[in-house]
Amino acid sequence: MWTTERRYRPLNQESMAEYEALCRQAAQSPWRQHYHIQPPAGLLNDPNGFCYHQGKYHLFYQWFPLGPVHGLKYWHHLVSDNLLDFTSQGIGIAPDTLEDSHGAYSGSAISFGDKMLIAYTGNHRDADWQRIPYQRSAFLSADNQLEKHPPFLCGAPAGYTEHCRDPKLWQNADGSYAMLLGAQRENLSGTVLYLRSADGLQWQLEGEVDCVLPQFGYMWECPDYFPLDGRDVLIFCPQGLQDYPNIYQCGYLLGSFDQVRRIFRHQGFQELDLGFEYYAAQSTLGKAEERIVIAWFGLPDMSCPTAVDGWAHCLSLPRVLSIEGEKLYQRPLPALAELRKGSAHDGVHYELLLSNPDNAPFSLRLRMGEYEDKNEETLLHYDGQYLVFDRSRSGLLPEPEIALPAGKGGHVRRLAIKKITDVQIFSDSSSLEIFINRGEFVMSGRIYPQSTADGLQYQLGDNAGIEFYAL
């Protein structure tokens, strides 16, 4: 039973032997991914502190180490040269002060001289279980010494509820620093707050950003902002939108951000991923000054079938963003090609490249297998009008843990699309990431078939071709 007490037990109060047993259990899980970031045990959620600092990528994730549930959150720290191979540095931020006593919640980081400057939300609950969010910064030095600073924003600002979190920090071209915070107004609508700083350490809350949207959900989590190819992009995760099939969204506004007037003009909200789960996307500039985004390959309030094995969730593959003809494109990080190990694959771990120059209908049956009296398969079907991603027979499936409004949920996603010339699929033990038309659209989904479900069949148009790489 996941009592509150168990969920908020710090890692250092658990016996090492028990934690190690949980890691061994997770390692045996048939759904362990081969090339995605996943927790050694326990639950992973948002990517945090993603930045390129002194020649290395740093990436953290929200982590509850002691079981596959949301509980006392830590930041788990990873370092990488290439975003393919990661070395764990263990705990990056532990919830070990009063201000973050109930979780070191999400935040971001930038390179700041020879240190990393981190901004995150300390989640504190008082004796009456009232949440008090603290926004604070910290320095992380090259030898992984963390120096937490006193909070620069204590509690919710006037006019906002306790749901005020997830600072995204950046430096502007003029050298000044700025930050967005996800927030909920007292009238229970979502928004983002804007803060400014001359030195990155003293912060001034300026007020809301006017995102020129009617009421748009009850809370906005995990904002991100960056200029890209002459435009501005604001990513956020609005909760409480009706007209989308997934429980919560992660999407963006593409337009222009006037930071002085705090107005973001744009062409409307778009989801980043049209599959089943993608959340809390966070970006950084990479080694080649490219804009790279990584997300939680999961959603709040959804179950994860791997929970039986003591772990839950993984991160999505890194994507590189660009703007082409007024549209945001998302392509798999080019370095992922280094994972390719030849064309003979095992039916589970592979990259698939479909070229469809005539825009012909096609159908792919992936991860096919027989299990007891059931046939498992995951379908990707295109009829010239719609691309259908159907995981309803893909094995075990994530299910909502709370009642969903009518019209939400289900295990089929349909994308209205009149032309498909290219499809690139990354298949791992328990996921598919499907890039359409070289990044025009992406549809991702976790799937939990038997590990023996390795069958693959396809029907293509005459001039279409398919290639595989083992991963």
Residue 100 as a binder of ligand FRU (CB under 6 A): the answer is no
Rule CB under 6 A: say whether 135 interacts with ligand FRU: no
What minimum distance in Å lies between the beta carbon of 359 and ligand FRU? 38
Q: Which is nearer to ligand FRU, 248 or 264 (CB)?
A: 248
Q: What are phi and psi of 35, to 5 degrees?
A: -140, 30
Six token digits for residue 63: 């982590």
- Judged by CB under 6 A, which of 45, 137, 283, 316 binds ligand FRU? 45
Nearest CB to ligand FRU, comparing residues 168 and 319: 168
CA distance 369 to 258: 53
Select from 29, 62, 424, 430 the one that contacts ligand FRU (CB under 6 A).
62
Using CB under 6 A, which of 116, 222, 253, 333 touches ligand FRU?
Answer: 222
Out of 165, 266, 319, 413, the residue judged to bind ligand FRU by CB under 6 A: 165
Ramachandran region, residue 279 (left: φ > 0; alpha: ψ -120 to 50; beta: rest):
beta
Binding map of ligand FRU across residues 170-209, x = CB under 6 A, - = no contact: ----------------------------------------
Greatest pairwise CA separation for the chain in angstroms: 68
Containing H/E element for 17?
Answer: helix 16-27
Question: Which residues contact residue 181 at a Cβ distance below 8 angstroms, ignoring those fewer than 6 apart?
Answer: 135, 153, 164, 165, 166, 167, 168, 192, 193, 194, 195, 223
Helix H or strand E encompassing 264: strand 263-271
**Residue 38 or 45 with smaller CB distance to ligand FRU:** 45
Instruction: Answer yes or no whether residue 240 interacts with ligand FRU by CB under 6 A.
Output: no
3-state secondary structure of 18: helix
Closer CB to ligand FRU, 93 or 336, in the complex = 93
Give the one residue of 68, 95, 238, 300 binding ligand FRU; rule: CB under 6 A.
300
Distance CA 121, CA 137 (A): 9
CA angle 30, 46, 387 (to 5 degrees): 70
Active site annotation includes 46: yes
- CB atoms near residue 433 (< 10 Å): 23
Q: If binding is defined by CB under 6 A, does position 332 make contact with ligand FRU?
A: no
Which among 46, 224, 390, 428 is annotated as catalytic?
46
* The pairing of beta strand 251-258 with beta strand 431-436: unpaired
Would you say 248 or 441 has its CB closer to ligand FRU?
Answer: 248
Catalytic residue list: 46
